[in-house]
Amino acid sequence: MCSMIAADVLVVGLGPAGASAASAAAAKGAHVIAIDRKSQAGVPVQCAELVPHMIAMECAEVDRARRQHIAAMATYVEDALPYVEPQFPGIMIDRAAFDAALVDQAREAGADCRLKHPLRAIDDNGVATLANGSRITSKVLIGADGPHSIVGKAIGSPNTEIAETRQITVPLLQSFDATDIFLSAGIPGGYGWLFPKGSVANLGLGVAPAWRHQLKPLLEDLHDRLAEQGRVGREVLAHTGGAIPVGGMRQLVSNLDGTTVLLAGDAAGLSNPISGAGINTAVISGREAGAAAARIVAGESDAGKDYADEITALFGPSLDRALARRRELMAIYASNRMPLASELQKGWIAFDAYWAA
Ligand SMILES: Cc1cc2nc3c(=O)[nH]c(=O)nc-3n(C[C@H](O)[C@H](O)[C@H](O)COP(=O)(O)OP(=O)(O)OC[C@H]3O[C@@H](n4cnc5c(N)ncnc54)[C@H](O)[C@@H]3O)c2cc1C
């Protein structure tokens, strides 16, 4: 017979959201089990590795992963000269080191973190069945299992809109300290990026799923152009990619029989529908979900609603704006037209038009 394990809090996923949740719940005294299907935290990396500067002030783990300072953002719209926003401070991190540091922190706080433990299913009572056949019951289940969250599906709140990405790591021949963004009507539902990380750079591209087949040629073309300009080498040092939720916030709290379910990070649709950035929101929502879970375990039944209210207040307005801008752009393609440069600008955070009413 398969074993049945009981925990106060079960966290599914040990990315930034799950590790932060496990840490916060365990630090407040809950018995926490956290599982991830990966063998090594943060590996493989599926990320361009940029975090906003402010995250370093409240997340000490950034220091273990810090690789390069970012000062500015340069946005290229079609073939025009770049628009440079001089104040765009950020940090390029080693994402694998960052995720590993967050898991170490969760373990230090007392969470039982189990790698190589894939979740197979969540039943209607909130009981988790793992691929190894063991079953885990919990008072609170935190879904931090990324864009294709099984926990989100179990409560009827999956991510329904996704952007697809492809990224290569290339030698960086001319160092710089900006994030370069490439907007073009030929990159529907996404953009290209070149983010410097010391002697290398992450060069990537995202698109709406209907254009997934274009990812490879579009990225090769961008790589060729940058190599011809002498900015990057032709060698490809690593490949990655992955899905980014771009449909906005999901339902954050639900119940499966007696189990309270909270979603955090990408599982909760907290990555930005325009920029795709989601590390900061994953860490913050994970932390808040973990703290709320501990309160629920202690008998505070309102803590789930408080969590949803807090996250909605923090991130709702920026996600709503990004979602609206994304929908405006996608509506242009749906009407069989290509966006003009001014419309691409309205769909990107560096331009005033993006922030206008
Ligand atoms: C190519 C790319 C580039 C990006 N670049 C940036 C960037 O530069 N800056 C930024 O802020 N954001 C970036 N993002 C988004 C960012 O990576 C995510 O928003 C962030 O990782 C969300 O954290 P999370 O913990 O919610 O989810 P994840 O990091 O996806 O973690 C989810 C975890 O759940 C685990 N899991 C999933 N299913 C199961 C299962 N069935 N059983 C057990 N474990 C499971 C996974 O193994 C994973 O470890 C990028 C995304 C992509 C794809």
Q: Any idea which residue has 């975090």 for tokens?
A: 51
What is the pLDDT at residue 39? 98
Q: What is the DSSP string of 291-340?
A: HHHHHHHTT-TTHHHHHHHHHHHHHHHHHHHHHHHHHHHHHHHHTT-PPP
Q: Could you state, in chain order, the average pLDDT of each consecutive group of 10 residues for the chain (357 residues)?
A: 87 98 98 98 97 90 94 97 95 97 98 98 97 97 98 98 98 97 98 98 98 97 98 98 98 96 98 98 98 98 97 98 98 97 98 95
C-alpha separations of 244 from 40, 189, 223, 238 in Å: 21, 12, 22, 19
Q: Whose CA is nearest to atom 26 of ligand 1?
A: 265
Whether pTM exceeds 0.95: yes
| Nearest CA residue ID for atom 16, ligand 1 | 278
Best residue for ligand 1 mutational test, from 92, 194, 266 (most atoms within 8 Å of Cβ): 266
Closest CA to 28 of 240, 290, 345: 290
Distances (CA, A) of 217 to 161, 211, 263: 23, 11, 36
Tell me the domains of the chain and their CATH numbers.
4-67+92-160+247-321 (3.50.50.60), 162-245+328-355 (3.30.9.10)
Q: Which of 167, 279, 349 to mutate to test the pocket of ligand 1 (most atoms within 8 A of CB)?
A: 279
| Ligand 1 lining (C-beta closer than 6 Å) | 12-18, 35-38, 46-51, 118-119, 144-146, 150, 165, 167, 204, 241-242, 244, 265-267, 271, 276-280, 282
Residue nearest to atom 12 of ligand 1 (CA): 277
Q: Say what the pLDDT of residue 2 is.
A: 64
